[in-house]
Amino acid sequence: MQSTTTATLLPQTVEPRNPGTALDLDWVMRATANRSAIERRAATLPGRRSVKKDHQAAWLARAISMIDLTTLAGDDTEGRVRRLCAKARQPVRADLLETLGLTGLTTGAVCVYHDMVAPAVSCLEGSGIPVAAVSTGFPAGLSPFHLRLAEIGESVEAGAQEIDIVISRRHVLTGNWQALYDEMRAFRQACGEAHVKAILATGELGTLQNVARASLVCMMAGADFIKTSTGKEGVNATLPVSLVMIRAIRDFHEATGFRVGYKPAGGISKAKDALTYLALIKEELGDDWLSPHLFRFGASSLLGDIERQLEHHVTGAYSASWRHAMA
């Protein structure tokens, strides 16, 4: 077991950042989405790809390393964030890690509101785990533009290494691709050295074609990641939407040579769902994307279910969910 699991956690090469390109409206307008074909392809994934026993444990350990452990509640406190950061440092019980032969396993990041950036940075000092801050008027993105830019700057100054911004959905719904590009470009510049994840809020974009076009525009404007959702919409990450966004990433890489990351967020709470998403990434983008540098889950409850599955793998029995508290 040890060799299988440890192999999944080897250090990954850090990708050069996507600098962005000029807005290519011809390319954007050529982007389409065949909904029926996309849904048929997505429907085959959960039942067709299956890993068992040691291989499943190895894939689940890798999934943990790609989780943005998140708390975005109105009643967040510094104490809750400290507990979440402790969980990010050691996401699985020590006895299970020892049996699995795992060392150095952490989550991909901790994601919080701006007010919680400083305590999160303090708690994670020396761990190598980045703090991600949601920004730009999250989740609606309707605050004044200068305030959205200022919010990015303050989170970066507080120590956030990643910024999850929300786009203005109206630009997509009205087909104003130049406005979306200019907005995203300004957000990218305001982030400086911090990596930027563009949240498309796909459940509010109307069509898969809009998702494809918005994905391309955000990548042209320099997004390091494109992300499905805030987690606050009625519909969050889905396999059809993910397929559209992943294929846009593949097209962008083929055209420019730059790899852009992908982050599904909202509604992914079961270990079996994580395995399905990893299979989708492997099949559509390849092994290069199976790294925290290029793939993240926006989730918290997902970690608890994965830990339960790993305990079952080790002991043969499922434990109660309260034994794997998040914060």
Q: List the chain pLDDT tens, one digit each, 327 residues.
A: 333 343 344 444 567 999 999 999 999 999 999 999 999 999 988 876 567 788 899 999 999 999 999 999 999 999 999 999 999 999 999 999 899 988 899 999 999 999 999 999 999 999 999 999 999 999 999 999 999 999 999 999 999 999 999 999 999 999 999 999 999 999 999 999 999 999 999 999 999 999 999 999 999 999 999 999 999 999 999 999 999 999 999 999 999 999 999 999 998 999 999 999 999 999 999 999 999 999 999 988 999 999 999 999 999 887 776 666 665
Residues 87, 36: Cα–Cα separation, whole Å: 41
Whether 237 contacts 201, CB under 8 Å: no
**Which pairing describes strands 131-134 and 297-299: parallel, antiparallel, or unpaired?**
unpaired
In a domain, residue 4? The reply is: no
In a domain, residue 14? The reply is: no
Query: Dihedral of CA 222/227/228/233: which sign?
Result: negative
Q: How far apart are the first and last CA of the chain?
A: 29
Per-residue CA distances from 304 to 91, 170, 232, 318, 320 (Å): 9, 36, 20, 12, 10
What pLDDT does 177 receive?
98
Whether 84 contacts 111, CB under 8 Å: no
DSSP state of 322: G
Residue range of the domain that includes 36: 21-324
The residues annotated with a catalytic role in the active site are 164, 227, 263
What pLDDT does 5 receive?
43
In a domain, residue 8? The reply is: no
Considering the entire predicted model, what is its pTM?
0.93
What pLDDT does 322 receive?
64
What pLDDT does 47 receive?
73
Per-residue CA distances from 118 to 54, 115, 287 (Å): 39, 7, 34
Residues 217, 322: Cα–Cα separation, whole Å: 43
Residues 31, 15: Cα–Cα separation, whole Å: 26
Looking up residue 192, the CATH number of its domain turns out to be 3.20.20.70
Whether 312 contacts 318, CB under 8 Å: yes
In a domain, residue 6? The reply is: no
In a domain, residue 225? The reply is: yes
3-state percent helix, strand, coil for the chain, nearest multiple of 5: 50, 10, 40
Whether 241 contacts 250, CB under 8 Å: no
Residues 212, 47: Cα–Cα separation, whole Å: 26
The length of the chain is 327
In a domain, residue 29? The reply is: yes
DSSP per-residue string spanning 1-42 = -HHHHHHTT---PPPPP-------HHHHHH----HHHHHHHH
The helix (run of H) or strand (run of E) holding residue 112 is: strand 109-112
In a domain, residue 93? The reply is: yes
How many H-runs (helices) and E-runs (strands) does the chain carry?
14, 8
What pLDDT does 326 receive?
60
What pLDDT does 7 receive?
37
Whether 281 contacts 289, CB under 8 Å: yes
What pLDDT does 300 receive?
85
Domain count for the chain, please give it. 1
In a domain, residue 9? The reply is: no
